[in-house]
Amino acid sequence: MAIELDTYVKGVLGGKRAVIARAITLVESTRPQHRSLAQELLTELLPHSGRSRRIGISGVPGVGKSTFIDAFGTMLTALGHRVAVLAVDPSSTRTGGSILGDKTRMERLAVDPAAFVRPSPTSGTLGGVAKATRESIVVMEAAGYDVVLVETVGVGQSETAVANMVDTFLLLTLARTGDQLQGIKKGVLELADVISVNKADGPHERDARTAARELAGALRLMHGKDAFWTPPVLCCSARESTGLDGVWERLEQHRTLLDSTGRLAARRRDQQIDWTWAMVRDELLGRLHADPEVRSLTPELERQVRAGELTATLAAERILEVFRTG
């Protein structure tokens, strides 16, 4: 049964879980009638949002993200925080099932009354999934969650999308030393504000500490002496819940520094502008691909480009010409 705008607003602001879940479903929906209601809801909620720590968490599959978020989130709720877990997993749009943010992977947090775990939206492009997650952040903040963790897999463009919606980005990694350091993608290192080497327990602990020292040295070189912030490299064990307080301390330190220097507000404003243009790009591209004339022209144009009968530049011009006049 459909519910009214007012019921959504009151339910979300009152922290009612069932209404929060429905509000997120509404925000994720791509149906035109849902989209306008979702925008009305977000407009009402916006004045109550913005007060959380928005933290992105990334790391390759196997690094222990679920175990980490379960333990880290549980530590935070014990400290009195209210924790929301969202996810951006564009691969789930292909498989139809969400891998990240799955409640069964976070057993303690899933049943914690001070936490709310939401799997990645499963429909649309990365742009669509990112938009739904950004808007879900507004819902969670209005509902009183003061820590929002946004999880993503350590592959592809999804990390950049997440870095662009959070204040601080945490990268989880495993013990690698020397040459293996090269294995960590530079692009991901550039996004990271705090790095933690997970599984620093039992026989792996020494390797983890060595790897952390080496990585910290590499980052100091990368960032230079006068950098505003050089990402600290810590060690933790998600399984044994050790080192998690240190990770939290550094995340808080980074955010406090951003806030006290005015960078936090500026960063969030810049993100709004980036999102605006990202949405314009997505919408335009969607319309272009749906355009009947473009669709009918495409196979022949592609054939000609492949056969070397037409340059890519001319083919692009033809497509835009048809779209403009179509």
Ligand X SMILES: Nc1nc2c(ncn2[C@@H]2O[C@H](COP(=O)(O)OP(=O)(O)OP(=O)(O)O)[C@@H](O)[C@H]2O)c(=O)[nH]1
156 interacts with ligand X by CB under 6 A = no
Q: Which stretch binds ligand X (CB under 6 A): 33-41, 113-121, 198-206, 302-310?
A: 198-206
Report, in Å, the least distance between residue 105 CB and ligand X. Answer: 6
211 interacts with ligand X by CB under 6 A = no
User: DSSP string of 31-99?
Assistant: -HHHHHHHHHHHHHHGGG-S-SEEEEEEE-TTS-HHHHHHHHHHHHHHTT--EEEEEE-THHHHHSS--
Cα–Cα distance for residue pair 190/167, rounded to 1 Å: 14
Residue 199's SS3 state is: coil
64 interacts with ligand X by CB under 6 A = yes
Cα–Cα distance for residue pair 159/153, rounded to 1 Å: 7
65 interacts with ligand X by CB under 6 A = yes
CA atoms in the 13 A half-sphere facing the CB of 56: 27
222-281 binders of ligand X (CB under 6 A):
237-239
Q: Which stretch binds ligand X (CB under 6 A): 1-9, 122-130, 194-202, 214-222?
A: 194-202
Size of the site for ligand X (CB under 6 A): 15
Of 105, 209, 213, 220, the one binding ligand X (CB under 6 A) is 105
Report, in Å, the least distance between residue 102 CB and ligand X. Answer: 7
Looking at residue 237, what DSSP letter applies? B
User: Which residues lie closer than 8 Å to 309 by C-beta, 6 or more apart?
Assistant: none
Of 14, 50, 62, 217, the one binding ligand X (CB under 6 A) is 62
Q: How many CB atoms lie within 10 A of CB 7?
A: 14
66 interacts with ligand X by CB under 6 A = yes
Of 58, 67, 74, 158, the one binding ligand X (CB under 6 A) is 67
Strand partners, 148: 54, 84
201 interacts with ligand X by CB under 6 A = yes
- Rule CB under 6 A: which residues touch ligand X? 59, 61-67, 105, 198-199, 201, 237-239
